[in-house]
């Protein structure tokens, strides 16, 4: 079941003003080990996004997407779609009308190469894929956009949404390497509480 939020700090994304997690794009050597680079089909990782949609979803809305090999979470009028792109193409998983506006949800994406991929919503598995003969999309420059399906400059597949992010974290082989609770902000960048300098910033 969805749960109400009492968290004080949030990252509010207004429609048309998405944010991006792409610390390696700031500078090639800053931070030293940018966490976005592990979000590829040859690495073991998991990430969690806690969010609340702030509007009705009569048309397609993208909560987030992992690019450039599109994998993400989209909410439509009566259903929720998890898109995952593999090396042999994209799969679209219709998981039903499980996400509703104004309630907080937790989405977790767990990837173990050559073994399995599991997607959880509020700790319930909604996608389970055997990866013994399947490979998640590979990339040298993976990054995540929150609140849109693409960069505004590209002017397609945007699917903007008003949404609050409550927390974003990444684990590598079980170790927490990025965590955002949105309590601290430096200029236009939200601070990674693990001190690994993996910022989230507005596009």
User: What is the tens place of the pLDDT at every residue in 161-199?
Assistant: 999 999 999 999 889 999 999 988 887 889 899 988 889
The length of the chain, given as a count of residues: 203
- Contact call for residues 136 and 142 (beta carbons, < 8 A): no
pTM of the model: 0.91
Encoded tokens for 130? 């055997």
pLDDT at 87: 97
- Asked if residue 18 has pLDDT above 90, the reply is yes
């Amino acid at each position: 079941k969805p749960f109400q939020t009492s968290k004080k700090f949030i990252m509010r994304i207004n429609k048309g003003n998405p944010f991006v997690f792409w610390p390696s794009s700031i500078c090639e050597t800053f931070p030293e080990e940018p966490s976005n680079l592990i979000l590829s089909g040859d690495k073991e990782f998991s990430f969690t996004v806690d969010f609340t949609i702030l509007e009705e979803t009569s048309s397609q809305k993208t909560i987030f997407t992992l690019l450039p090999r599109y994998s993400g979470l989209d909410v439509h009028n009566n259903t929720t779609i998890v898109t995952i792109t593999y090396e042999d193409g994209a799969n679209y998983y219709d998981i039903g009308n499980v996400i509703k506006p104004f309630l907080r949800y937790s989405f977790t994406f767990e990837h173990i190469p050559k073994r399995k991929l599991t997607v959880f919503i509020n700790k319930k598995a909604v996608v389970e894929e055997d990866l013994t003969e399947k490979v998640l999309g590979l990339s040298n420059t993976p990054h995540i956009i929150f609140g849109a399906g693409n960069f505004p400059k590209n002017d397609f597949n945007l699917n903007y949404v008003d949404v609050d992010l409550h927390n974003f974290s990444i684990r590598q082989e079980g170790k927490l390497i990025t965590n955002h609770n949105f309590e601290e902000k430096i200029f236009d960048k939200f601070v990674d509480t693990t001190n690994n300098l993996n910022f989230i910033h507005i596009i």
